[in-house]
Structure 1
Amino acid sequence: MARCNGKVLCICLLPCVMVGHLLVYILVSICITMSYSPATLPIRFIAPGVSSNSGALAAHPRNPFWNLRIQKGALWNQLQHRLDRQHNPILRGNRSQQASTEGVRPQEGGPQGVSPACSPDQSWAPLLKDFSTLPEQMRDFILSMHCAEYPIVTDQPGVCDGKLRPEEAPMLLLAIKSETGNFENRQAIRQTWGRNGWMQGEAGGRGGLVRTVFLLGKQDPSMGLYADLEKLLEIEKSQHRDILQWDFRDTFYNLTLKDVLFLRWFSQRCPHARFVFKGDDDVFVRTRALLHFLHQQEEETEDEGQNQKKPVRDFLMGEVIANAVPNRQSFTKYYIPESFYKGAYPPYAGGGGVVYTGALALRLGEVSNRVHLFPIDDVYLGMCLHRLGVSPTHHPGFLTFDLPGTDKESPCSYHNIILVHKRSPKEMLRLWSMLKTPPPAC
């Protein structure tokens, strides 16, 4: 009888014990979850120009950049989502999916085939609830962001000697973003680091053929500059033959358009240039040091006793900014409203100056057809790189945010860099002269 009662008692207590174990497990899980906080990466904003110089910082945004799910309420994300579906090889045959834009009307042409006479499209405005409150420059970009083709006003087909043979192509093509009124900047570059022709490498090392072009749009009438600037520009064009100009307004938000049009020009006029440097007209570049560095990047192998050059791997190098998020301060020129774009930025290199292979330039020109124009040019380039699966490479010699204040006047500081930003024409001439002689003991 006692044995029977013991069995009954065990059967009755077993569920209680199991429930007790379950409660303990749940309590332990809750405690672990509450005590665990994942490591957060630092947020890098674009406006202050903070760069990631430490290898300890992962070159990835806090959130996925190329999100497969559409970001509702952000115009650029919706447009890019539709473009991704159009170019998805699996979905390409499904017309119903191609037309699905989740509330955004189909683009008339898009980045692939807009008419040269592209005009502002007012139908974009109702898609942003805060359109009327946005800065004028942002509103102008939104109304014309479907336009990615403009006629070239001034071409320079002879920059690469009019020849497309790889053995006669430039070692380095310098593509400098400029504006109509920046005559002194362009002339200072021509006389210093942007000279056309053969340039010797650093310390008598290997040099190469250098070609320079300046990238211009049409002067923005709202700048209120003198009417005779275009006449002066025509004289400059005929004398130097190094200016590329397109028929679009030269504004900050159109720098992306300038990049895209240059890449398409490059594929037609200079496709075999081994490297491309793209930068602003207020940077100073130690071109000889850059040539020496680029020669180091070119791998050479011996094949059965014969020296053969291997193609250089695709790379883009500069001062890399990682973990960046859009600037939501409406008074800054980098302002991107949340109604236009949501999410983090991919890693990108500061737009003051970057260098990349000619082969990558061709690929960037192709992929730009599949990435919708974005108002900030260096971020847009990062988006295109992300699409190609190429990560920008950080180089400590690219100082797109200038030297520390105490080092600006030290000659030794400039002998260890490749690029420094924000230099006036007079400063360019002084630096060029100073760097001709070896530095004193540092």
Structure 2
Amino acid sequence: MGRCCKRNGRLLCMCLLPCMMTSHLLIYVMVSIFVTMSYTPPPKIIIHYIAPGISVNTSTLASHPLEPFWNLRLEDGALWNQLQHALDRLHNPILRRNTTGDESPTDCLSCKCSVPQIDDLNSMPEQIKAFVWSMHCREYPLLINQPDMCGRNNRDSPMLIMAIKSQVGNFENRQAIRETWGRSGLVRGEDGKKSRLVRTIFLLGRQDSSTGPHPDLKNLLDLENQKYRDILQWDFRDAFFNLTLKDLLFWHWLQQHCPNAIFVFKGDDDVFVRTGALLDYLHKQWDEHNLLRVSTNDTERTLDLFVGDVINNAMPNREPSTKYYIPERFYKGVYPPYAGGGGVVYSVSLAMRLKEVSERVHLFPIDDVYLGMCLHRLGFSPGRHPGFLTFDLPEMDRANPCAYKSVLLVHRRDPKEMLTLWKQLQSLPRQC
């Protein structure tokens, strides 16, 4: 009897097993069909990446750098770093994907933009406080303009425009420059070949009592401008930490009134430039560029040139007694490569790109460094030229005219030294 029951149980199990497996399979198939029918795939995300330096016709896309702009995430404690983070997020192409496109990226750069709250702002130096309160202002009216300096057609466009940063009271410096290396008009290179058109213009702000007691020089400045027509003056306070504004506002003026110039020399009014030798160098660069355009059949190729006395791996000056002092609470990190501000030369095509990218870089108090920041944002490295001596010649060589044979620029020279050196260098080829 027991054996019979065991045989019948095994037989029953063997009969029921296929049925159970079939039912489980049927349930699995039904569940799979239900999930498939109810599943909706996520919308496809299209992310646009634009290589640095490529012109874009639409304002809804921002450039995506090949490398990080700065490693600012490790330096969030400083005010400038925080502001730049916010601006980077504003222009991030992924984060902007769902925006309507109506937002203006420059809204946050206007004078109406609120300054971030920092508890110890009052404990910072006065020049830093003044900079923080005005660092969002980028538009200032022109008090003196020169709209016709570069003529009305391409034939009057200069090969080189020399933009010299000066101050209202520096009459003597400007006059020494006009009489020596900064003469406007046709200038012959030292190679003796064809003359090239050069225009010199001086960049000024407004002198006021906040920078110290000053005599009223407005009438003298007006007379100077009536005679020479080579002054640009904007309605902002002319202070050391506002020199960056002269770059931004000059680029805007250049785009409006002199876009067909080829090169820009930007310098201080206490440098000495061997203009003829500089023209020879620039003419060679321009010829090589045009040959490359022909050989590659690339008529749209632009010349991107930026040379000067390049400084690498510089750290902010933390000495409170110097005019270059940058508190750690304002900026942390290493400066990007930049050229000493005594004088640099760059192509106008690059100047236009710098103007555009500057809208995505918060103003910085030191103009040399800010220019390096904009170049870094473009993914462009400044080129070093050994002829740019922003820290001057060795003292033993300064009185020897032959020591200037390979020099394009030296810094610093007062007006009397400019006139003396200019006269000595007129016979430089025969002497050396």
TM-score (norm 2): 0.78
- 3-state DSSP of counterpart to 1:401: coil
Q: Is the CA contact (8 Å cut-off) linking 2:318 and 2:326 kept in structure 1?
A: yes
The match for 1:110 is 108
The match for 1:282 is 270
Return the structure number with greater relative CO, CA threshold 8 A, min gap 6: 1
Match of 2:371 among 374, 377, 381: 381
How much has 1:64 moved relative to structure 2? 7.1
Once residues 72 and 369 of structure 1 are traced to their aligned partners in structure 2, the CA distance between those partners, rounded to angstroms, is 21
The answer to whether structure 1 residue 243 and structure 2 residue 231 are counterparts is yes
* Structure 1 pair 371–145 and aligned structure 2 pair: CA distance change class (3 A): same
Structure 2 portions without partners, runs of 5+: 1-66
How much has 1:377 moved relative to structure 2? 0.2
Q: Which has the larger radius of gyration?
A: 2
**Can you list the C-alpha shifts for 1:299-354, whole angstroms capped at 9, x where unaligned?**
1439999x999956312100000011111111111111111111111100000000
Structure 1 portions without partners, runs of 5+: 1-62, 100-106
Structure 1 letter corresponding to 2:233: Q
Match of 1:197 among 174, 185, 210: 185
Once residues 133 and 215 of structure 1 are traced to their aligned partners in structure 2, the CA distance between those partners, rounded to angstroms, is 32
Once residues 427 and 311 of structure 1 are traced to their aligned partners in structure 2, the CA distance between those partners, rounded to angstroms, is 41
* Structure 1 pair 310–400 and aligned structure 2 pair: CA distance change class (3 A): farther
The answer to whether structure 1 residue 72 and structure 2 residue 62 are counterparts is no
**Can you list the C-alpha shifts for 1:170-192, whole angstroms capped at 9, x where unaligned?**
10000000000000000111111
Q: Is the CA contact (8 Å cut-off) linking 1:125 and 1:131 kept in structure 2?
A: no
The match for 2:29 is none
Between the aligned residues of both structures, percent identity stands at 61
Q: Is the CA contact (8 Å cut-off) linking 2:147 and 2:257 kept in structure 1?
A: yes
Once residues 221 and 163 of structure 2 are traced to their aligned partners in structure 1, the CA distance between those partners, rounded to angstroms, is 18
Match of 1:181 among 164, 169, 186: 169
**Can you list the C-alpha shifts for 1:189-241, whole angstroms capped at 9, x where unaligned?**
11111111000011313431000110000013134454331111111111111
Q: How does 1:73-152 map to 2 (within 5 A)?
A: 73-94=77-98, 109-111=107-109, 114=110, 118=111, 124=115, 126-127=117-118, 129-152=119-142
How much has 1:88 moved relative to structure 2? 1.7
Q: Is the CA contact (8 Å cut-off) linking 1:70 and 1:81 kept in structure 2?
A: no
- 3-state DSSP of counterpart to 2:267: strand
* Structure 1 pair 302–224 and aligned structure 2 pair: CA distance change class (3 A): closer
Q: Is the CA contact (8 Å cut-off) linking 2:402 and 2:428 kept in structure 1?
A: no
Alignment length (residue pairs): 361
- 3-state DSSP of counterpart to 2:335: coil
Structure 2 letter corresponding to 1:421: H
Q: How does 1:30-429 map to 2 (within 5 A)?
A: 66-67=70-71, 69=73, 71-94=75-98, 109-111=107-109, 114=110, 118=111, 124=115, 126-127=117-118, 129-163=119-153, 165=154, 167-298=155-286, 299=288, 300-301=290-291, 313-429=303-419
- 3-state DSSP of counterpart to 1:202: coil
Q: Is the CA contact (8 Å cut-off) linking 1:285 and 1:419 kept in structure 2?
A: yes
Once residues 106 and 203 of structure 2 are traced to their aligned partners in structure 1, the CA distance between those partners, rounded to angstroms, is 27
Q: Is the CA contact (8 Å cut-off) linking 1:207 and 1:292 kept in structure 2?
A: no
**Can you list the C-alpha shifts for 1:83-135, whole angstroms capped at 9, x where unaligned?**
11111222213469xx9xxxxxxx99333xx2xxx48x8x64741x4322222
- 3-state DSSP of counterpart to 1:257: helix
Q: Is the CA contact (8 Å cut-off) linking 2:202 and 2:230 kept in structure 1?
A: yes
